[in-house]
Chains A and B, each alone.
Chain A
Amino acid sequence: MTLVDLVIRSMRKNLKHYYLYFFALIFGVTLFFIFSTLQHDSAVVEQTDLSAKMASGFQAATVLLFGILLIFVTYANDLFLKRRSREIGLYQLVGLTKGAVSRLLIIENILLGAGAFIVGIGAGMLVSRLFLLLLMKLVGYEGFVNLSFSGAAFLQTAVVFAVLIVITSFRMFWKIRRSQLIDLFNDDKKDEHPKQPKPILSALLGILGIAMIGIGYWFANSEYMMTAFLFFNMLLVLMLVIVGTYIAFRVTIGWLMTLVRKQQNGHIGLAGALSLAPLMHRMKANAKSLTVITTLSAMTLAMAGFAYSMYYSTEQETRVRVPHDFLIDEVGEGNEGTSAEIAAQFAEDLDSAGIGYTQQPITYLELTGAFSGENLPDLLNWEGNTVELLVFDTRELKAAGLDIEEPETGEATIHNNGISWLLTKEVFPVGASVAVDGRTEKLNVTSIGTQEVASGYAGVYTQLTLNGETFDRIKEAAPAESHRPLVAFNLDDKGDLAEASAIFKNYREEMTLDFYSTYKESLSYNGIMIFITGFLGLAFLVSTGSILYFKQMSEAEQEKRSYTTLRQLGFKTGEIMKGIRRKQAFVFGIPLLMGLVHSVFAIKSVSFLFTSTDITMPVTIAMIAYALVYLAFAILTIGYYRKTIQAAL
């Protein structure tokens, strides 16, 4: 029998272990090829006018994807090698040299990799158009894009895959070279012996794990987080949570289970014997991989949830920054005439295009002033500094369609979206002294508004809104050159926005004055982001899910003898399956649950970025999607167990 015969035989025999790995590999190639294609295809790049953003986004994605694939493939390979160690030992026992055995495995590995590559590229070519359409839809592009086969993408994918195969082959070679025959026969039995844990130590460590996670959560959402050491704090939180998670897996869960088991005093029952007992004694060995899976799950989930929230809230968040459909001011360069004159021309154009609108002149005062208050946040360092202030009249803003509160006489509301998250309720009231014509006018700032009041000033200038009476008094006193006239336009039918935006471009180029352009721009950014994170998340999910599946598959095999015994003792498949389902609920549920909780806290700590949108909905949807994929893997696993148990007698 030649080596090739042997390879073919062993591959056929191991097919049922390989098929999911093979599938995951194909999935990786396909995704990689598609990302690469979208990044390299010149037609896409030119026609969509997204070149720079897209290229860098996809570049980052391909690097990440390579990382995910590398971890997944090496991990899966190690797992396979371990479960096949007895077979490898047997080959050596019957006289194959270590060199021949590693050749055999490497040929297998290359065949698998090459097969996955070919199928993956084929699948990639078939579905890349679909992906492109999806991407175009997400970024709001409505043109027709042609997609051709990209040689560069093919080459990039091929190189990356070759690297992957070489790395894993080398690892195999190295592992076999190092291995002792006796270890090979015991390898799949390692960590098999359950141990009695030391009660006090594990109780202490067990509590420590949970405490570290709790402190991390609390710290991330506390006031101590937002200091000059923000970056350092973030690292600290990350470390606390990751180490806490590891301890939780390695000690806490096992410790809690020990308590439960002690309580049972030997009356463990069938379900417990099939879930509690094997989980407990494998927890230690699995702690590292579970921590990695959980941490990465949390990160992907947070990323995907965040991206989806961004995408979902694009319109509302854009409205916060750009409240008027169009705003005409007179500070821009190269425009002829005052804002009123330009407004008149723009209105004329809108009329002739048959677009209905309302227009409202808004005059604001450009003044300087300073803030004072007991609870002003350090980060702002307002004390004693003079800042530029734009003072608006609530009456005019309301007439322009803004939904804002009118302050009392002598009071003001502050608007500055860039810093609004720092201005919590406790900060107010704040005193504002506004310099008007040599005098200072004292105002009492009582609250913060939820949005900017004029397009184009987002996050740059601090705006104050006053009621009519106060505004008129200050306007009277302020010199004429501080009066700034604006004209706000709002369309009756928002369906006309695209057309009106094109007309508006004849007068003003600044995108920030034009709601529609700003919106489109944000949408395309967020669209790309959700596309990338979504698919990276999926690649990640599929790989972690399959790793859990592989692990369970080998556990099922290791426990086959126990199932035989149980069946002989008179337990029915259905009764045994009850315990198995409980075990799977833990195996998939615990990393999922911990990942979900981690990501909830992660998203919560950045949720201040979403000023006007409730992101519960998009985050929940992202999480449900995530949970569903895990559920699918859990069901696959349970199916595998059922087959094993049915075949056990």
Chain B
Amino acid sequence: MVTNTNQPHGRTVLQAHQISKSFGSKLNSTEVLKGINLQVREGEFVGIMGPSGAGKTTLLNVLATIDRPTSGTITIDGQETSKMKDAQLSTFRRDKLGFIFQDYNLLDTLTVKENILLPASLGGLSKKAAEEQFNDIAGILGIKEHGHKYPHEISGGQKQRTSAARALVNHPSMVFADEPTGALDSKSASALLGTLEDVNKSRGVTIMMVTHDAVASSYCSRVIFLKDGAMYSELYRGDKARQAFFQDILNMQAVLGGDRVDAR
């Protein structure tokens, strides 16, 4: 395992220990994740890369409590999520986590503002406080003036920023994103990544993002490479410029092989 130094020394937000995940029946099962250990500190922007089928989405889902690991423990914000019941998990997700999906997953029948405020609706937040949160985050993401529009009336990039605003409105401890730029052109993609980087820096939000795209992962502070369900290596950006980090990532991908086609 190739490791860079320069690790940040924040509080640990996420701690995964010996995560494995198998699909299928007992007799005929495939192990998709093979004992992954991972630690994410507060304020990190972690990218996950790897060839198609490596288990990136599976790992993200398991860490994000959308799916359960077959074995291993996951602790987020000091709470062991792998032991929680479904109902507890739902509450936990709502209060502590945010999600950005590749295909936005906005509710078609809700306006941009309604979509963004949806997670706040059960949090017992006052209308005024929620309004402030909305103004704040929508301002940062530049979609405030589109608040009254329906998803089909805005562009893909705006949709993805709406999705990001929804993920961030509750001040989550951690945001999970699965290929958030997958459906965007390179301009909208870099706009979104830029704002994510900003939010990450200014608000100190911890972000974990799966991506195929070396450009996208060059915005991260650390990139983890998965291969065949195991951690292959990781790269820290440290004080490097984005361009230099991008080169490192490309080199690593070349070593890893198999997925160069996907890198844009």
Q: Mark A556-590, 1 if CB is under 8 A from B, else 0.
A: 00000110111111111001000000000000000
B255 within 8 A of A: no
Contact of A273 (CB < 8 Å), options: B92, B118, B130, B148? B118
Q: How far is the CA of A270 from the CA of B122 in the complex (A)?
A: 7
Judging by beta carbons under 8 Å apart, are B110 and A565 in contact? no
Contact of B117 (CB < 8 Å), options: A267, A562, A649? A267
B35 within 8 A of A: no
CB contacts between A and B, total, < 8 Å = 89
When distances are taken between beta carbons in the complex, the residues of chain A under 8 Å from B134 are: 266
B101 within 8 A of A: yes
Contact of A571 (CB < 8 Å), options: B90, B106, B110? B90
When distances are taken between beta carbons in the complex, the residues of chain B under 8 Å from A266 are: 111, 113-114, 116-117, 131, 134, 147-148
Q: How far is the CA of A569 from the CA of B97 in the complex (A)?
A: 8
A178 within 8 A of B: no
Q: From B88, which residue of chain A is reached at the shortest CB distance?
A: A572
A349 within 8 A of B: no
Q: From B93, which residue of chain A is reached at the shortest CB distance?
A: A570
Judging by beta carbons under 8 Å apart, are B119 and A572 in contact? no
Judging by beta carbons under 8 Å apart, are A277 and B93 in contact? no
Main DSSP-derived SS at the B contact region: helix
A405 within 8 A of B: no
When distances are taken between beta carbons in the complex, the residues of chain A under 8 Å from B105 are: 561, 564-565, 568
Judging by beta carbons under 8 Å apart, are A277 and B66 in contact? no
When distances are taken between beta carbons in the complex, the residues of chain B under 8 Å from A270 are: 118, 121-122
Within 8 A of A (CB), among B83-132: 86-87, 89-95, 97, 99, 101, 105-111, 113-114, 116-119, 121-122, 127, 130-131
Judging by beta carbons under 8 Å apart, are A562 and B107 in contact? yes
A192 within 8 A of B: yes
Within 8 A of A (CB), among B166-214: 166
A278 within 8 A of B: yes
Instruction: Give the Cβ gap from B81 to chain A, nearest Cβ, in Å.
Output: 12
Q: Mark A175-201, 1 if CB is under 8 A from B, else 0.
A: 000000000000000001110100000
A622 within 8 A of B: no
Q: How far is the CA of A565 from the CA of B105 in the complex (A)?
A: 6
A284 within 8 A of B: no
Contact of B114 (CB < 8 Å), options: A273, A564, A568? A273
| Subset of 18 A-B contacts with CB under 8 Å | A192-B108, A193-B108, A266-B117, A266-B131, A266-B147, A267-B130, A269-B122, A270-B121, A270-B122, A277-B114, A280-B109, A562-B107, A565-B106, A568-B66, A568-B93, A569-B118, A570-B91, A572-B87
Query: Which residues does B use to contact A, with CB under 8 Å?
Result: 66, 86-87, 89-95, 97, 99, 101, 105-111, 113-114, 116-119, 121-122, 127, 130-131, 134, 147-148, 150, 152, 166
Known: A194-B108, A266-B116. 10 other contacts (CB 8 A): A265-B113, A273-B107, A273-B109, A273-B118, A277-B110, A568-B99, A570-B97, A571-B90, A571-B94, A572-B91
